Amino acid sequence: MIKRLFLFAVLIGAGLSVGLGFYAYDQLNKPLTLDEPTVYQVERGASLRRVLTDFEQVGWLDEARIPEYWLRYHETTRIQRGEYQVRPGETAVQVVERMVDGDKILRTVQFIEGWTFAQFRQAIEANEFLTQTLTGLSDEAVLTKLELDIDHPEGWFFPDTYHFERGRTDADLLLQAHRKMRDELDRAWKDRADGLVIETPYEALILASIVEKETGAAFERPQIAGVFSRRLEQGMRLQTDPTVIYGLGDAYDGNLTRADLRGDTPYNTYTRAGLPPTPIANPGRGALEAAVDPAPGSALFFVAKGDGTHVFSDTYEEHDAAVRQFQRFGRREDYRSAPDESSTDEEAQP
């Protein structure tokens, strides 16, 4: 009788073990119950148990303990804080394994080549995933908070697409962009051509910002830099519209007039010789490289064709003919693309 009871108990135990085994296997391999990808935020200090319990409470998971025991047995518990995308078809174990690996959602902010520092700040303030700490501060106060040893922010932040985790501060992101511009400028300056008219990395940054604003065609940047370098060498004024526009600030209404070209500001390269006092935008790598390695040639003038490219001319007569041609095709009467015919006027000479 005792032997029979023992055998019966063994059979029951074996049956229960098999049943529990099948149940555990089913729970470990059962996809989470959700219909579309969903963002889940792992907060700082959140434990494995907290995450799996959350899954259970929202109905994604039937039983939190089984995947928890499995993951603890396999020492898969050091989840990283951040945002994660939970996808249909994934199991709880697969999601947690990605959390351990740090397969997080990265948000982005894009700074476009040729944007000003003000435009960079606007893009940052419009990004809902960044923690805002600089809102309302002046540019000078921003530089102080960032502890940057520069007098003017323009040009010192590299245009690029930056990836970050939700909650990163705007200050951290700007510091990253500044460090990258420092690195890019240093690299470009080390690879500079011989015999440059510009003498310092900062002058290269200023020239690069002008080149960036003058053309969006990458292949033209060395040519544009060549024109400006030759004008600097010959003591001619740069006479470039983007510097005038920058100097006008909020007074610029989208229409650059002859009066604007004659109105003197520190950035008016029609009225003042040499480079402007600071960059006028944040240049990209191509413009930096063009500024330190301008294309050789003899052109001193260029005019926009209206398609994003330019006609380059060696003499004012050639340039004047090009200006007339492209003004004829829909260009406004007072349109200029630097340098213009005022370079031949006695009052406009350096």
Complete domains list, the chain, with CATH = 28-101 (3.30.1490.480), 107-185 (no CATH), 192-348 (no CATH)
pTM reported for the whole predicted model: 0.82
Average pLDDT over residues 143-153: 96
Phi, psi (rounded to 5 degrees) for 42:
-90, 110
Is residue 115 pLDDT above 90, yes or no?
yes
The confidence score (pLDDT) of residue 266 equals 96
Is residue 15 pLDDT above 60, yes or no?
no
DSSP code string of 144-192: HHHT---S--TT-S--SEEEE-TT-BHHHHHHHHHHHHHHHHHHHHHTP
The confidence score (pLDDT) of residue 25 equals 54
Residue 5 vs residues 10, 14, 15, 270: alpha-carbon distances, Å: 9, 14, 15, 107
Residue 205 has which token pair?
Answer: 């940054």
Q: What is the dihedral of CA 271, 274, 278, 281, to 10 degrees?
A: 80
Lowest pLDDT segment from 6-15, 30-39, 76-85, 260-269: 6-15
Residue 88 has which token pair?
Answer: 């249909």
The confidence score (pLDDT) of residue 31 equals 85
Is residue 329 pLDDT above 60, yes or no?
no
The confidence score (pLDDT) of residue 157 equals 98
* Strand pairing category for 82-86 and 107-110: unpaired
Residue 275 has which token pair?
Answer: 């480079």
- Higher pLDDT among residues 21 and 160, named by residue: 160
Residue 258 has which token pair?
Answer: 């002859």
Per-residue pLDDT tens for 294-326? 999 999 999 988 888 899 999 989 888 888 888
Is residue 218 pLDDT above 70, yes or no?
yes
Per-residue pLDDT band for 233 (boundaries 50, 70, 90) equals very high
The confidence score (pLDDT) of residue 27 equals 64
Separation between Cα atoms, residue 69 and residue 11, nearest integer Å: 26
The confidence score (pLDDT) of residue 1 equals 45
